[in-house]
Chain A
């Protein structure tokens, strides 16, 4: 897949299978996540949405199949090349996974310090900008342990966006957030896609949120992509389960 208009890269999975012991989580999944578009991944709890995301960033290695980031097969990269490939990806973990030995500000600054040679003042300015975008500018000097679950999630998102990644993988951004903040985060993600041309992959159980963000949605079930399309298309899906899911406006 070629790079997107603003340098964003698409993501492609070819026949990816993954099992943990006897548990088959992904079963011959082939997917195309187009550059510069927002894809929302839906599915019941424990179906392998987080596992799918981790394959894209190379944290999990498929038992079979290949994962492409742009034109690059990341499953065949050595650790050094993989690290370089990862610099264009931002990843928000489902549990935020903030580094709990440093402050929120340092968490956001961490990727910048590692991968850029920006002067300290510039880094501070950018940290402030990213935290402000998620509404956490006052929390810059606080330790992660002192944050609420929702605040942690937003801080994690700020960190994921620190390097203005071409591919932003977000695992349940609105879980634990009030509806207003949740909407603000959705707007932020849409802005990131629009302004930076980033490829967005968002896992969510929040259907309104999925509708707001998603250019297209895919529904994962029992290791396979059960349905794929726009929100309107999924509402008319042949699968009872998918229709049911789309109707639960309140979100799961």
Chain B
């Protein structure tokens, strides 16, 4: 019985944690400065990773779409197929997993260390709401950074796709870019990007939850960092299934 109750109560605890984060997001005071600092850490400093990954993924996707579309003699559709794949799923998921790796580990370790060195208590002792100051700011920063990073990855992905294409066919960037947008609709572009806000929430909440509940000293910090990445990635991938279903329901056009 305990075997069942312990994980359930932990899950309930985590859900309450997430719910509290949502409530606190809208309740002043807003820790704007700290949010901006986190946005710098999460967003700006993830840019090189995301941009390079997007570019590389664009090249690889382009090579794959080329080899499949060539069989049907539909090379003209490569940019559009690439863009569709990027914008709907590949971009959001790749960015989600990369951020889960980089930022999830960062949050888990940083908050874990703050926990075991009593810095979180110290914040409370100087009359700062540590949940707001540490968790809400990180969550908001992550939710803001994700769509931006995804957009960046989508665009560098297109540039990568173009680079791969132009090496073969010499297509101009402008023609490629226009062609890329010839098929995607708002129903592909907007929900695909917006859903990464949910990814950002999941990553930040998971890592923060595991971070602030770190036990067992330095070893516990490492453990929290690892668990944050694993848990955030799994939650993100499973949540994506639900989100895709939801998007198809809300935007039937995107299912076509």
Interface residues in chain A, defined as those with a beta carbon under 8 Å from any beta carbon in chain B:
54, 57-59, 79, 83-84, 86-87, 89, 91, 93, 95, 97-101, 110-111, 114-115, 159
A58 surroundings in chain B (CB, below 8 A): 124
B123 surroundings in chain A (CB, below 8 A): 99
A59 surroundings in chain B (CB, below 8 A): 121, 124-125
- Count of interface residues, chain B, beta-carbon cutoff 8 Å: 14
Do the beta carbons of A93 and B127 come within 8 Å of each other?
A: no
A54 surroundings in chain B (CB, below 8 A): 121
Do the beta carbons of B126 and A111 come within 8 Å of each other?
A: yes
List 14 A-B residue pairs with CB atoms under 8 Å apart, sorted by A's residue number: A54-B121, A59-B125, A79-B129, A83-B129, A84-B127, A97-B118, A97-B122, A99-B122, A100-B119, A101-B110, A110-B126, A114-B126, A115-B127, A159-B126
Majority secondary structure of chain B interface residues (helix, strand, loop or mixed): helix
Cross-interface CB contact of B125 among A91, A95, A100, A115, cutoff 8 Å: A91
**Interface flag for B68 (CB, 8 Å):** no
Do the beta carbons of A100 and B117 come within 8 Å of each other?
A: yes
Cα separation A58 to B127 with both chains bound (whole Å): 10
CB distance from B121 to the nearest CB of A (A): 5
Do the beta carbons of B119 and A83 come within 8 Å of each other?
A: no
Majority secondary structure of chain A interface residues (helix, strand, loop or mixed): mixed
**Interface flag for B128 (CB, 8 Å):** yes
Cα separation A100 to B221 with both chains bound (whole Å): 15
Do the beta carbons of A97 and B127 come within 8 Å of each other?
A: no
Most chain A CB within 10 A, of B121, B122, B123, is at: B122
CB distance from A157 to the nearest CB of B (A): 13
CB distance from A116 to the nearest CB of B (A): 12
Q: Which residue of A lies closest to B122 (CB)?
A: A97
Closest 7 CB pairs of A and B: A97-B122, A86-B127, A97-B118, A91-B125, A83-B127, A111-B126, A87-B127
Cα separation A79 to B125 with both chains bound (whole Å): 12
Cα separation A89 to B122 with both chains bound (whole Å): 12
CB distance from B85 to the nearest CB of A (A): 39
Cα separation A53 to B121 with both chains bound (whole Å): 12
Do the beta carbons of A99 and B127 come within 8 Å of each other?
A: no
Q: Which residue of A lies closest to B120 (CB)?
A: A97
Do the beta carbons of A93 and B129 come within 8 Å of each other?
A: no
Kindly identify, within residues 78 to 123 of chain B, every residue whose CB is under 8 Å from any CB belonging to chain A: 110, 113, 117-119, 121-123
Q: Which residue of A lies closest to B33 (CB)?
A: A113
